[in-house]
Structure 1
Amino acid sequence: MSDPAARPRTAAVVVAAGKGLRIGGDLPKQYRRVGGRAVLTRTLAALAQHPDIDRIQPVIAPDAADFYRECLADLDIDLGKKLSEPVEGGATRQQSVRAGLEALAVTGGVPDLVLVHDAARPHVATDLIDRAIRAGREHGAAVPGVAVSDTIKLVEPIAPGIGRVHETPAREALRAVQTPQAFGYAALIAAHRRAADEGRDGFTDDGALAEWAGLQVVVFEGDAANRKITQPSDLIEADRSFSQGAGDVSVSAMTTLVSRLATGFDVHKFGPGDHVWLGGVKIPADRGVIAHSDGDVVLHALTDALLGTIADGDIGTHFPPSDEQWRGAASDQFLAHAVQLVRAKGGKIDHLDITVLAEAPRIGKHRDAIRARIADIAGVPIACVSIKATTTETLGFVGRAEGLAAQAAASVRLPEICAELDAEAEQAARQS
Structure 2
Amino acid sequence: MPNARAARRAAVRIGAVVLSGALLAACGSGSSGGTSDSAGGKVTLTVDLFGSFGYKEAGLYAEYQKLHPDITIKQSDTEDEADYWKSLQTRLAGGGGLGDVQGVEVGRIASVTQQQSDKFEDLKQYGAEKLKDQFAEAKWSAATTEDGRILGLGTDVGPEAMCYRTDLFKQAGLPTDRDELSRKWSTWDGYLALGEEYKKKAPAKGAWIDSIGSLYSIMIGQEKERYYDASGKLIYENNPAVKTAWDTSVEAAESGLSAKLDQWSPQWNQAFAAGSFATIPCPAWMLSYIKGQAGKGGSGTWDVAKLPGGAGNWGGSYLSVPRAAKHKKEAYELIEWLTAPEQQAKLFQKQGLFPSATGAIEKVSGAKDPYFSDAPIGQIFGDAAKSSPVQVLGVHDANVAQQITNALSEVERKGTSSDKAWSTAKKGVDNVIG
Q: Same fold (TM over 0.5)?
A: no
TM-score w.r.t. structure 2 length?
0.21
Question: Going by fraction, where is strand more abundant, 1 or 2?
Answer: 1
With CA pairs under 8 Å and 6+ residues apart, which has the higher RCO, 1 or 2?
2
More helix by proportion, 1 or 2? Answer: 2
